[in-house]
Amino acid sequence: MKPYGTVFFIVASLLGFLISGCATTSDISGVENRLSYLERRTSDSERNRDQYQLRMEDFRKSQTDQMQQVRTQSAELYATMDRLREEIQKLNGRIDIREHNLADQTGGTPLNDRVTEIEKDLLALKDRVSRIEDYLNLNNAKKAPPASPEKVVKPEATPDRTLSESEQYAKAKQLFDSGDLEAAKTEFEQFLKRFPKSTSADAAQFWIAEIYYRQKWYEKAILEYQKVIEVYPKGNKLQAALLKQGFSFFNLGDKANGKLVLKELIKKYPNSNEAKIAKQKLEGI
């Protein structure tokens, strides 16, 4: 604005001189040269200003593009980190299960801190096994008095070898429903040995896991549910096995793996009834 003010002042002065008649030719010429010089400077200033504005616009655009690129890369990095965390959690869960299984096969040899903690509770586990053995002996004692040894061995053992697939499964399920869990487990295990390709094999394996769950032997239940998940991935007991495996982890106080299993169930089978139960469980934590 200053160049325009100066020009206005000079023009006003020139007009004043002309009007008053006091300005000479040399004065007018000097004023005109001064006015021409100021106009050139004003024009240069305007060009410089326009160029500066263009550079500023280019700079702002460049900064905006760079920030957008940084935000996009950051979002991708966070997403990748979340996926990696999820994969690590899944691997940790699978490793725990494998280590439990290996510990059973090697007679409880310590493999990690978790197994060490379990070994510290070995006496409690032995008491649990002892109670189960006592329970089995008690069941055998109750069955023995009403029938003679011949009736116990021959009528019960011989027909079982000739039971059909559906008959043996029905018998095992009936024992389970009546609460005779150990007898039901034996029947389901025999069923799987005789009919490993049966369409009911996944259900038989699931009920074995359920028996351990009802006996509060959650470590063993987790392993048996895992067999349903791995051996029968297309069976109709898969969702139920995932749900109860997650509950087993929670019952052991392992919330991390419990949440992981339930989230996996919700992600893979969002419309299932088991997924609804899993959501309610997670919301209540």
Provide the pLDDT confidence category of residue 35 given band limits of 50, 70 and 90: confident
pLDDT digits (tens, 9 = 90+) for 173-197: 999 999 999 999 999 999 999 999 9
Sign of the torsion angle spanned by Cα atoms 51, 56, 59, 61: negative
Where is pLDDT greater, at 85 or 278? 278
Least confident of 32-46, 73-87, 254-268: 73-87
pLDDT of residue 142: 41
Q: Which CATH superfamily is domain 163-283 in?
A: Tetratricopeptide repeat domain (1.25.40.10)
Cβ within 8 Å of residue 220, ≥6 positions away: 212
pLDDT, averaged across the chain: 75
pLDDT digits (tens, 9 = 90+) for 138-170: 444 444 444 433 443 333 444 445 789 999 999
pLDDT of residue 143: 42
Count of C-beta atoms within a 10 Å radius of residue 71: 10
pLDDT of residue 52: 72
pLDDT of residue 186: 97
pLDDT digits (tens, 9 = 90+) for 104-147: 555 554 445 555 565 556 655 555 655 555 544 444 444 444 44
Task: Specify the amino acid at residue 53.
Answer: Q
- Residue of 71, 79, 3 whose CA lies nearest to 34: 3
Please report, for the chain, the start and end positions of each structural domain, with discontinuous segments joined by +: 2-77, 163-283
Q: What's the pTM value of the predicted model, to 2 decimals?
A: 0.47
pLDDT of residue 57: 74
pLDDT digits (tens, 9 = 90+) for 255-281: 999 999 999 999 999 999 999 999 999
Does 73 score more than 60 pLDDT? no
Q: What are the distances in angstroms from CA 53 to CA 59, 66, 163, 281? A: 10, 20, 93, 60
pLDDT digits (tens, 9 = 90+) for 198-237: 999 999 999 999 999 999 999 999 999 999 999 999 999 9
Does 26 score more than 80 pLDDT? no
pLDDT of residue 216: 95
pLDDT of residue 230: 96
Give CA–CA dist 210/247, Å, rounded: 12
